[in-house]
A and B are shown apart, each in its own frame.
Chain A
């Protein structure tokens, strides 16, 4: 069974640009969550999608957005990039997103560097 895949693995952008990251969940998983990992901050929850609907959202500005497609694949977009957006972006999938017992499986992440 294939794991969670994320593309691209590495990205370099400049301030003011926008970026789109992609996540393909494990087959049969309908919930996709996105997290931002920065040094000293751990993983911070961005949002969760289930059946193409955003069900939960963290405390991030509106520049961070996402969507989910009918095949459960998800994308997140960051507009007007700032230096502080440099981070590892991780996506995690689970069957239903009904935590805590619905285990989340993480992808390897996309390393975004903003210059």
Chain B
């Protein structure tokens, strides 16, 4: 049962253009969402997050949008750079409870930014 889904296995964009990565979730108990980036032979690194009380969070070139009613979030990268080429994972979590150390991840989307 995939509670977090990234339906696009890959995305290719031109340098300077916008990259939009999408993520859907099914578990309405999730109230915090994160994006991680992974380069080959390295572990995932935290990129940006958003709480369910917000609908947008921005950090430099990266913006995450959350649509709670649609159970959908997206990551926008503007402008895209070749160094952004990596696998992007969407992840979800819950505040408190028994969520110790557990993030629920999507399958990942391979982003390729062409010069």
**Chain A residues at the B interface, C-beta cutoff of 8 Å:** 4, 31-33, 35, 40-45, 48-50, 55-56, 58, 90, 92, 94, 97-101, 103-109
Return the contact of B107 from the options A32, A41, A103, A106 (Cβ within 8 A). Answer: A41
Report the bound CA distance from A100 to B46 in whole Å.
12
Return the contact of B43 from the options A40, A90, A98, A100 (Cβ within 8 A). Answer: A90
Contact check, B100 vs A48: say whether CB atoms are below 8 A apart: yes
Q: In this assembly, does B69 line the interface, its C-beta being within 8 Å of a C-beta of chain A?
A: no
User: Smallest CB–CB gap between B45 and chain A, Å?
Assistant: 7
Contact check, A43 vs B93: say whether CB atoms are below 8 A apart: no
Q: Mark B60-81, 1 if CB is under 8 A from A, else 0.
A: 0000000000000000000000
Q: In this assembly, does B42 line the interface, its C-beta being within 8 Å of a C-beta of chain A?
A: yes
Contact check, A106 vs B43: say whether CB atoms are below 8 A apart: yes
Contact check, A56 vs B107: say whether CB atoms are below 8 A apart: no
Q: Interface size class for chain B?
A: 20 to 34
With contacts A56-B98, A100-B34, A100-B93 known, is A45 near B43, CB below 8 A? no
Contact check, B101 vs A90: say whether CB atoms are below 8 A apart: no
Please indicate the chain A residues that have their CB under 8 angstroms from the CB of B46 in the complex: 103-105
Contact check, B44 vs A48: say whether CB atoms are below 8 A apart: no
Q: In this assembly, does B85 line the interface, its C-beta being within 8 Å of a C-beta of chain A?
A: no
Please indicate the chain B residues that have their CB under 8 angstroms from the CB of A90 in the complex: 43-44
